Structure 1
Amino acid sequence: MSQNAAEPKLSATILLLRDAPDLQVLMVKRHYEIDFAAGALVFPGGKTHEEDAVEDWNELTDGDFEGAELAARVAAIREAFEESGVLLARPKSKRGEGQALVGADIAQNLEPHRGPIDRREASFVELLRDNGLVLALDTLVHFGHWITPDMMPKRFDTHFYLAPTPPEQLASHDGRETTETAWLSPQLALDMADAGEATIIFPTRMNLGKLAECQSVPTAINRFKSEGVVTVLPLVGKDERGNPCLHIPAEAGYMQTTEPLERVANVAKR
């Protein structure tokens, strides 16, 4: 990392999946006044904060995780709840890996808490405790790990996760950070970006491309839970023709290893 580069902030993004009947992923449209990726189609996600790493989660989560991995997974589920209303949780009385997740009734009852949790006016820990719930961290499959290039004014150390969406729960945008929600096949989202019908930033496009190799939720979950994740820190260089580009490692398994710098939008406002 260069001496003047901003320190990347631990972040988490979640790809909520469903079959309808083919594989679809939930995407949300960022508000045009947000200071990062304004107006872009993205997966729900954001930076971790202090409460995502408190010890209280040891008793309020299913899955054996600790440290930064615990915080990232908690943040992924919290962000999904804030931005889409989908909650990956189980009743504490019926907890355990593989047990059923809460349905639409509980998610709808907790709907009024989305805004206060997002604005840090209420505690996500207390919301789970007060309602006898635990987060289903075990349902998240680690799918990607991207670190923003050094030259960007805002940098993120982002973990991407896949998760099946509880079949009874509905998704809706929050009206603050996100203005639309859409269930899209990964290939359709890529086609929309190519046609100029949607703005999709480089890491999102690459993860859509990898997901598009799967035809259903079970095939995606089974494939990626057994594959290792290679960290991607794009590096500035030149392509075969000498044009400025970003390079990403081939072993990360994405559909391309270079991206022209002219295609990398300045998505972070200074």
Structure 2
Amino acid sequence: MSEMPSEAPNVIPAATVVIFRHCPEGGPPQLLMVQRAKEMRFAGGAAVFPGGKIDEADRVLAARLSPDADPDVAAARIAGIRETLEETGLAIAIEQPVSVADAIAARALLLEEGELAPVLERFGWTLDLDKLVPFARWCPMREGAFDARFFLVDLGTGAVEVTVDATENTRLFWASAAEALRLADAGEIQVIFPTRRNLDRLALFATFAEARAQAEAIPVRMITPSQGERDGELCLTIPEDHGYPVTFQSMSTVRRGL
């Protein structure tokens, strides 16, 4: 993955997880999205994928579990697993079967401890970090922005229980990428620029296998949106060679995280 420029501002390492499940009624896979509380500093009121900043405890656990892996990527995977459990109640990338009761209890313990390691120890769980497939990395070059690594993970089954974390989010919902884009166009949800572009890309895939194949074929390089002119209009743009079918949007319609 591309390195941070030497002259970069202070940014916040973070992880985001795009969670796939089979659509219960058939059709394209559904993705889990959370609607942020309006009071939140980042993307307040917007629909986003689960995730959050990487904590030092995530780095410590990653170094213990994956000492030979890229430490930043391993820590981001840990953070993605932790944030997903905290925000949605889903225990992802666990090698052992996880019952609904155990997931509920694990979430309560995580909220009490603030770290994933005690949860793994209490329930005897082993992580399979490779289940989180690197998909993208987005980082605006401005002070306090999130340097967000995106991962894909597949639940398979459509029969899963999720419950909103009411401290940061107001609701959870499942939708295909195309349906989420329709909701955004209809004004029923709000999405920030990176979410919109990732939904465009995710709408290309009829299955998780297709999404994983593209993710594995295109090296993850940092995407830093920039302003530029397209057909006489000021737009926010991204490079053309990262797998995204739409690479610009008019600044008049762009919503950013901050």
Q: TM-score, normalised by structure 1?
A: 0.84
> 1:231-246 counterparts in 2 under 5 A?
231-241=222-232, 243-246=233-236
> Which residue does the alignment assign to 1:8?
11
Per-residue CA deviation, residues 58-80 of structure 1 (Å, 9 max, x unaligned), is: 5546x962311111111111111
Q: Distance in 1 between matches of 2:150 and 2:93?
A: 19
Q: CA deviation at 1:106?
A: 2.3
- Change in 2 beyond 3 A, CA 1:101/1:144: farther
> Which residue does the alignment assign to 1:199?
190
- Change in 2 beyond 3 A, CA 1:221/1:267: closer
> Which residue does the alignment assign to 1:93?
none
Pick the aligned partner of 2:128 from 129, 136, 151. Answer: 136
Q: CA deviation at 1:45?
A: 0.6
* C-alpha contact (below 8 Å) 1:30/1:41 kept by paired residues: yes
- Change in 2 beyond 3 A, CA 1:41/1:65: same
CA RMSD of aligned residues (A): 2.4
Q: CA deviation at 1:115?
A: 2.9
> Which residue does the alignment assign to 2:34?
28
* Structure 1: gaps of 5 or more residues: 91-98
Q: Distance in 2 between matches of 1:254 and 1:246?
A: 14
- The one-letter amino acid of 2:73's match is E
Question: May I ask how many residue pairs the two structures share in their alignment?
Answer: 250
- Change in 2 beyond 3 A, CA 1:221/1:253: closer
> Does 2:75 match 1:71?
yes
Q: Distance in 2 between matches of 1:71 and 1:245?
A: 34
- Change in 2 beyond 3 A, CA 1:193/1:156: same
- Change in 2 beyond 3 A, CA 1:40/1:134: same
> 1:150-189 counterparts in 2 under 5 A?
150=142, 154-165=144-155, 167=157, 169-189=160-180
Q: Distance in 2 between matches of 1:59 and 1:103?
A: 26
> Which residue does the alignment assign to 1:107?
103
- Change in 2 beyond 3 A, CA 1:57/1:149: closer
Q: CA deviation at 1:133?
A: 1.3
Q: Distance in 2 between matches of 1:200 and 1:10?
A: 21
Q: Distance in 2 between matches of 1:103 and 1:60?
A: 23
Per-residue CA deviation, residues 83-139 of structure 1 (Å, 9 max, x unaligned), is: 10111243xxxxxxxx555343421332322433xxxx5332122122211222110
Q: Distance in 1 between matches of 2:156 and 2:196?
A: 25
> Does 2:87 match 1:83?
yes
Pick the aligned partner of 2:119 from 127, 133, 137. Answer: 127
* C-alpha contact (below 8 Å) 2:193/2:256 kept by paired residues: no
> Which residue does the alignment assign to 1:252?
242
- Which deviates further from its counterpart, 17-26 or 251-260? 251-260
Q: CA deviation at 1:6?
A: 4.0
Q: CA deviation at 1:170?
A: 1.6
Pick the aligned partner of 1:53 from 56, 59, 64. Answer: 59
* C-alpha contact (below 8 Å) 1:8/1:156 kept by paired residues: yes
* C-alpha contact (below 8 Å) 1:89/1:102 kept by paired residues: no
- Which deviates further from its counterpart, 230-239 or 45-54? 230-239
Per-residue CA deviation, residues 126-176 of structure 1 (Å, 9 max, x unaligned), is: 2212221122211011111111243xx531111110001263542211111
SS in 2 for 1:262: coil
- Which deviates further from its counterpart, 252-261 or 202-211? 252-261
* C-alpha contact (below 8 Å) 1:102/1:166 kept by paired residues: no
SS in 2 for 1:174: coil
> Does 2:254 match 1:264?
yes
* C-alpha contact (below 8 Å) 2:93/2:131 kept by paired residues: no
> Which residue does the alignment assign to 1:94?
none
Q: TM-score, normalised by structure 2?
A: 0.87
Q: Distance in 1 between matches of 2:15 and 2:84?
A: 10
- Change in 2 beyond 3 A, CA 1:132/1:100: closer
